[in-house]
Chain A
Amino acid sequence: MATWPRTEDPILARLARLAASLRTRGDQVLVLVVLLALWQGLSLVFGTYWVGSPWGVLMRLGKGVMSGEILRHASYTLLEAAAGFLIGALPAAALPFALRRLPIVTAILDPFMVGGYGAPKLALAPLFILWFGIGIESKIALVAITVFFIVYFSALAGVRALDPRLVQMAQVMGADERDVARHIVFPGAVPHIFTGFRIAMPYSIGGAVIAELISANRGLGYLVQLSAMNFDTTGVFVALVATTCIVFLGNWSVNVIERRLLRWRPRPDLDMQAGS
């Protein structure tokens, strides 16, 4: 509920909004401080053995980064996630295009794809470890298969979202099949494909970490598991913080690339202008 009066004056309104957002920011900082204080309090009550402390985690994180150890494990996990993502996402994005003129094949594949999408791919982790060992390949395979089904359906939606009027327009101007695919189908599907990328990205890192939790000798998931087995809570927190950072990094990258590639999209909050 607004506690200050609504005003017609634009300057006053602007000031009121500024004050409100500053207040919110202040609240948010306050919450952070409270959370950290709570954490510190818990560590005093239960001991850093059980809970780690904010300061301890920070120190260990700094040490880990400086020694390069964190970065080494992080890059391993990142490599698994990225490689698996590419191997899974690229064929998944290409398939609906290749099958665009063969709707019967798409229909035949549909129940298998839906089944693959619904099936718990992460349950395959032990199988891949059996096949590929505890090295990097099993993690890449798991990520790839998880990402594949997600991106496939997004790309399929993108290809299906084709506006037939645009195709007609292009045909009247002399476009052949290849032109339509290249200039109309593909650019139109890119936003949908990126949505798929955005959804799949956390799954790629999550998949890599889970596989590492089960069986690995490198990577952030391995670090989490190792620290836990050594009852090193601080170490666990450090690895978790690093993992979360990678997730944010991944999200940020996808957003940056998407913003660049999709400059042409109308932003939903802008008003559509009608008339001249």
Chain B
Amino acid sequence: MAAEALLEVRSLSKRFGNRAGREPSPWVIQELSFVVNEGEFLTIVGPSGSGKTTLLNILAQIDTASGGEICLQSHAAPIGNSKSLKPGLACKIGYVTQEDNLLPWRTTLQNVLFPLTVQRRLNEDTRARAQMLIRAVGLAGFENHYPHELSGGMRKRASLIRTLVYDPPIILMDEPFGALDAQTRAQLQEDLLRLWNLGRKTIVFVTHDIVEAIALGDRTLVLSRSPARVAGEHRNSIPRPRDIRGIMIHPEFAPLYQRIRVQVQ
């Protein structure tokens, strides 16, 4: 499927500031380069501590980079200087973080509507879209609940559709289903793919779980341990729609899994 590059990352490098007089800190990310194509579901795997969250933070423009460039839709993003960062790049980059970061003082519905409120796009159509998404992930009936009244899985779903509701061209996801039990995780993976299918947005999905990476992605990047670099790229040709719960039985699964697993070590 020929598609143009939506996001280009070239020679990205990052290390954290060092205290005066000490050794410079080690590189967390070094010379990382990859491309994300439009409409693609890209998964990134790597061992814990390999800088995956840092990478997403830099892409989302909430953290600076020490070197390299990022281009979104052929426009370069300012990533070197902390003053010129534009988080979310004018709402073009959505970011579903590991913690749900729901506002505790807002109900589910109000939380989902939050980005629309802040972007001044709240109207009948967008409200309807929010309601549709709430129903789509099974949160119907919980619109007026506060986050502390929801289970962990429900909060995750709310935070997911909160980003989907304003439809950014590219969405970053940082191990969103990591803290959930297997049942909930499978359910949410299915919901995610179903929702993704409706609009075929571009998604960059980070996980440490290789099975999840294969189940969801069109392409999987493997990151090396510190410093993070692209250790490998794997095309995933398991046809869609995929059977999440039965993905491991698919004949193409095992060899792909093996190839990725070897690189993750």
Contact = CB atoms under 8 A, between A and B. Distances in A.
* A–B contact at 8 Å CB threshold (below): yes
A263 B105 CA distance: 8
A171 B88 CA distance: 7
Nearest to A173: B115
Interface stretch (A53-61, A110-118, A162-170): A162-170
A198 to B, nearest CB: 19
Which residue, of A166, A173, A264, A265, has the highest number of chain B Cβ atoms within 10 A? Answer: A173
A173 B91 contact: yes
B103 A166 contact: yes
B95 interface: yes
A172 B93 contact: yes
Given A273-B151, A276-B152, A187 B118 contact: no
Contacts of A174: 88, 90-91, 115, 118-119
B103 A184 contact: yes
Interface string A85-117: 000000000000000000000000000000000
Given A175-B118, A275-B180, A165 B90 contact: no
A179 interface: yes
Nearest to B87: A171
B265 interface: no
Interface residues of A, number: 25
Contacts of B93: 172
A183 interface: yes
A11 interface: no
Nearest to A165: B101
A172 B148 CA distance: 23
B152 A275 contact: yes
Interface in B109-139: 114-115, 117-119
Given A174-B119, A187-B105, A263-B146, A169 B151 contact: no
Given A165-B99, A169-B97, A172-B87, A265 B104 contact: yes
B97 to A, nearest CB: 7
Nearest to B172: A172
A275 B90 contact: no
B153 A183 contact: no
B119 A276 contact: no
B166 interface: yes
Contacts of B10: none
B88 A172 contact: yes
B203 to A, nearest CB: 15
Of B61, B99, B115, B118, most buried by chain A (CB within 10 Å of CB) is: B118
B104 A264 contact: yes
Nearest to B154: A276
B146 A171 contact: no
A190 B103 CA distance: 13
B171 to A, nearest CB: 11
A169 B181 CA distance: 25
Contact of A276 (B90, B97, B103, B184): B184
Given A173-B118, A263-B146, A275 B153 contact: yes
Given A169-B97, A173-B119, A264-B148, A183 B114 contact: yes
A165 B187 CA distance: 27
A274 interface: yes
Contacts of B179: 274
B70 to A, nearest CB: 15
Contacts of A169: 95, 97, 101
B233 to A, nearest CB: 27
Interface of A: 165-166, 168-175, 179, 183-184, 187-188, 190, 263-266, 270, 273-276
Interface of B: 60-62, 87-88, 90-91, 93-95, 97, 99, 101, 103-106, 114-115, 117-119, 146-148, 151-154, 163, 166, 179-181, 183-184, 187
27 contacts: A166-B101, A168-B87, A169-B101, A170-B118, A171-B62, A172-B60, A172-B62, A172-B87, A172-B93, A173-B114, A173-B119, A173-B166, A174-B90, A184-B103, A187-B103, A264-B106, A264-B146, A264-B148, A266-B148, A274-B152, A275-B151, A275-B152, A275-B180, A276-B180, A276-B181, A276-B183, A276-B187
The 5 A-B pairs with the shortest beta carbon distances in the complex, nearest first, are A266-B148, A172-B88, A276-B153, A171-B87, A173-B115
